[in-house]
């Protein structure tokens, strides 16, 4: 998903600052869709403002810097709807943990065991967060999306539980200096 589409999605739910859009990319229901940095959000908002897709207003607070509050325009809603009709690109799955698993012989079974534990804890936390979100959510589409995510993370967790000993065994195998140099 593009940062543009992500920003339009957030703004279609209500006005927001760039900070709030970034926070939505890190927490809550939108955090499962994209990793968006300030370096991609603000240029995207500026371009969308030039295109008439969003507007902004300045909000003043005593003792604090002013804030830009962004709103989606009707043109922006139309553009977002048009983008929703585009076939999504393939999901991206990148995992530093899987790179570690690929080279498990280099780090040994003790390190792999600790990292498997850490990965499992992380997955359990993600599942718990999504289940909590599901409990307080009233939107059926959001609930379906959260259930899908819970199912995907649960499958990963179950795979680790059932197959951790296999990876630990592989990590115990010696690695030759030639393999380490490749």
Do 107 and 54 share a structural domain?
A: no
> Which of these, 68, 71, 72, 62, lies nearest to 38 by C-alpha position?
68
pLDDT band at 99 (very low <50, low <70, confident <90, very high): very high
Residue ranges in the chain assigned as alpha helix (H): 3-13, 18-26, 38-50, 74-84, 96-102, 104-136, 140-172, 177-181
Range of the domain at 115: 96-174
2 pLDDT above the threshold of 60: yes
The verdict on residue 69 lying in a domain is yes
End residue of a domain, out of 60, 85, 110:
85
End residue of a domain, out of 54, 85, 116:
85
Residue 157 CA to residue 112 CA, distance in Å, equals 15
> Given this model, what pLDDT does residue 172 score?
95
Do 101 and 133 share a structural domain?
A: yes
> Given this model, what pLDDT does residue 180 score?
55
What percentage of the chain exceeds 90 in pLDDT?
63
What's this model's pTM, rounded to 2 decimal places?
0.76
End residue of a domain, out of 25, 60, 85:
85
**Which residue reads 């990590």 in tokens?**
171
Mean pLDDT value across residues 102-113 = 96
65 phi, psi to nearest 5 deg: -65, 155
Do 128 and 101 share a structural domain?
A: yes
> Given this model, what pLDDT does residue 8 score?
94
Rounded to the nearest integer, the mean pLDDT of the chain is 89
Name all contacts of 140-149 with Cβ < 8 Å and 24+ positions apart.
Answer: 142/29, 145/29, 145/32, 146/29, 149/32
The verdict on residue 156 lying in a domain is yes
37 pLDDT above the threshold of 90: no
182 pLDDT above the threshold of 70: no
> Given this model, what pLDDT does residue 178 score?
52
The verdict on residue 79 lying in a domain is yes
């Amino acid at each position: 998903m593009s940062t543009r589409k992500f920003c339009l999605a957030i703004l279609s739910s209500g006005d927001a600052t760039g900070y709030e859009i970034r926070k939505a990319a890190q927490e809550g229901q939108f955090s499962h869709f994209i990793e968006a940095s300030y370096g991609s959000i603000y240029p995207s908002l500026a371009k969308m403002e030039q295109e008439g897709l969003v507007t902004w207003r300045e909000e003043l607070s005593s003792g604090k810097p002013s804030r830009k509050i962004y709103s989606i325009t009707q043109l922006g809603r139309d553009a977002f709807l048009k983008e929703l009709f585009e076939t999504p690109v393939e999901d991206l799955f990148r995992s530093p943990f899987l790179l570690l698993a690929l080279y498990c012989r280099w780090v040994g079974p003790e390190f792999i065991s600790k990292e498997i534990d850490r990965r499992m804890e992380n997955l359990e936390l993600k599942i718990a967060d999504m289940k909590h979100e599901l409990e307080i959510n009233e939107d059926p589409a959001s609930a379906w999306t959260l259930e899908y995510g819970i199912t995907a993370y649960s499958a990963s967790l179950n795979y680790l539980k059932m197959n951790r000993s296999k990876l630990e065994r592989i990590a115990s195998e010696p690695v030759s200096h030639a393999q380490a140099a490749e």
